[in-house]
Amino acid sequence: MAKEYTVISITEMTRLSDTQGIERYYRHRIRTAGKVVLSVDIDEKDFVAERAGPILLNRATVADKILKL
């Protein structure tokens, strides 16, 4: 079975929050099995393999389904 996506890069970023001041998030650039390149933002609380993996997999799967339309 081919890998559904490959992580190209991860960039730590910050933004202003309405309630919490500054918050961190991580921008992942991924390449799907269909060669689609996406940017996926993941909040700091989800920046662990157990949570980020399913988020990235979902986005890759959706992008490849759209590519096939």
Read out DSSP for 32-64? Answer: ETT--EEEEEEEGGG-SHHHHHHHHHHHHHHHH
Name 14's bridge partners: 24
Position 19 scores a pLDDT of: 84
pTM score, two decimals? Answer: 0.87
Domain segments of the chain: what residues?
5-67
In angstroms, the CA 36 to CA 40 distance is 12
Q: Tens digit of pLDDT per residue, the chain (69 long)?
A: 568 999 999 999 999 988 879 999 999 999 999 999 999 999 999 999 999 999 999 999 999 999 999
